[in-house]
Amino acid sequence: MNPLEGKKLIVAVTGGVAAYKAAELVRLLGKAGADVHVVLTRGGARFVTAVTFQALSGNPVWEDLWDARMPNNMAHIDLSRDADAIVIAPASADVIAKLVHGLADDLLTTMCLARDCPLLVAPAMNRQMWEHPATRRNVACLNADGAVVLGPDAGEQACGETGLGRLLEPEALCEQVIGFFAPKLLAGRKVVLTAGPTFEAIDPVRGITNISSGKMGYALALACARAGAQVELVSGPTGLAAPAGVHRTAVNSALQMRDAVLAVLPGTDVFVGVAAVADYAPASVAEHKIKKTQGEMVVTLTPNPDIIAEVAARDDAPFCVGFAAESQDLDRYAEGKRQAKKLQLVVGNLVQDGMGRDDNQIILYDAAGRHPLPRAHKSVLAQLIVEHFASLLAAYLEARTGV
Ligand code: PMT
């Protein structure tokens, strides 16, 4: 299940150095499942050729209002009629001004005037052009007219200046487009998640950890953000980049993870414990590297706090989703954990099925019973988990408020 499967997108490329990023955007949108059709303005074609966009989209590129390839010669109507959105990236100051005033002097502007689908506009221009009162007025007007303005970013510009006006990076733009279409099941909700392993230090270079990659927790954090939630991710050490739209706090040990969770907990509607938290930590951490010459080494371990049990025991406990990683007897252990820790939902998985992998096989356990899901990529499972707990959330929060 690709997030943009079944979506037809028109990507319009106007004149600007950032047009080179549009090539990657077209590739990423296609990879996410979209059927991409490119409209290239005269200015855009000065920077990147139609050949590139045709090769990357797998579809003919449209440049001319009078293109005779459309049987009725009305590309400006037909292109957008069955499209799910038009995405203009990069959008120059000139095209933004034309859109605001309803000018229709080329294929893109005529198509935008005649469209009946959403319009997403990703501006790219020099920082002073972006800050000019005319552009400020035009962008405000574009927003008021219902267009979705994506970015721009701040940073180094092709002209050598630094400031606001950079086109968002293709990955971020693609994510914004995916987020635009995602059902907002968690709009207005705050979700806190833990992910990855913890690292319990023995000395300055050694420690106890596990093979959790963080992939499941990061996929869930992204799915929550796409569903419209404010997302706080408390992550143990992983090599993963923070998902778009997610605020991440990086920690090492279980104690740090607990403190970071408690710090962001106020106002939380949903807590999801995906992290493989070490149950024990060395009772003390050696100040210096322990030398082999010291002979046999004995490490005394003390129990770590159970973060999710502590969160679920609060009077104002959020809806709590726990995970159970077992190597056998999944039903018994997962449902046992749900009841013992007073969780509303537990996601059970066998360690050998999913830990460290890109895909997983999971069973959901809630008050209504067990709900097995087919083996799938973690991004797909994350979406299904979000749909499941979102359907139970309102009733839980209402009951909590009533208490
Ligand atoms: O990271 P990946 O490679 O993608 O792998 C995903 C995963 C296998 C780590 C994930 O799917 C998973 O099962 N996570 C929970 C692993 C685990 O440690 O389960 P547990 O049975 O020990 O803990 C049960 C629940 O209590 C979990 O929600 C855990 O986060 C929480 N817990 C456990 C101990 C502790 N001290 N504090 C906790 O909050």
Domain parsing of the chain, residue ranges: 8-181, 190-401
Protein residue with its CA nearest to atom 27 in ligand 1: 323
| pLDDT for residue 71 is more than 60 | yes
Q: 190-401 falls under which CATH superfamily?
A: CoaB-like (3.40.50.10300)
Q: What Cα–Cα distance (Å) separates residue 104 from each residue in 97, 111, 135, 203, 331? A: 11, 8, 19, 69, 63
pLDDT band at 72 (very low <50, low <70, confident <90, very high): confident
pTM (2 d.p.): 0.91
What is the model's pLDDT at position 75? 80
Whether the CB of 192 sits within 6 Å of ligand 1: no
Residue pLDDT, tens place only, 113-170? 999 999 999 999 999 999 999 999 999 999 999 999 999 999 988 888 889 999 999 9
HSE, CB side, 13 Å, CA atoms: give it for residue 164.
Answer: 12
Q: What's the 185 CA to ligand 1 centre distance in angstroms?
A: 25
Q: What's the 307 CA to ligand 1 centre distance in angstroms?
A: 11
Rounded CA gap, 37 and 299, in Å? 62
What is the model's pLDDT at position 289? 93
Q: Which of 277, 326, 345 to mutate to test the pocket of ligand 1 (most atoms within 8 A of CB)?
A: 277
Identify whether the C-beta of residue 90 lies closer than 8 Å to the C-beta of residue 13. yes
Whether the CB of 306 sits within 6 Å of ligand 1: yes
Question: What fold does the segment set 8-181 form as a domain?
Answer: Rossmann fold (3.40.50)
- The residue from 159, 174, 224, 320 that is catalytic is 159
Whether the CB of 67 sits within 6 Å of ligand 1: no
| 174 carries an active-site annotation | no
Of ligand 1's atoms, which has the minimum distance to the CA of residue 219?
A: 4
Domains 8-181 and 190-401 alike in fold = yes
Whether the CB of 276 sits within 6 Å of ligand 1: yes
Rounded CA gap, 104 and 33, in Å? 31
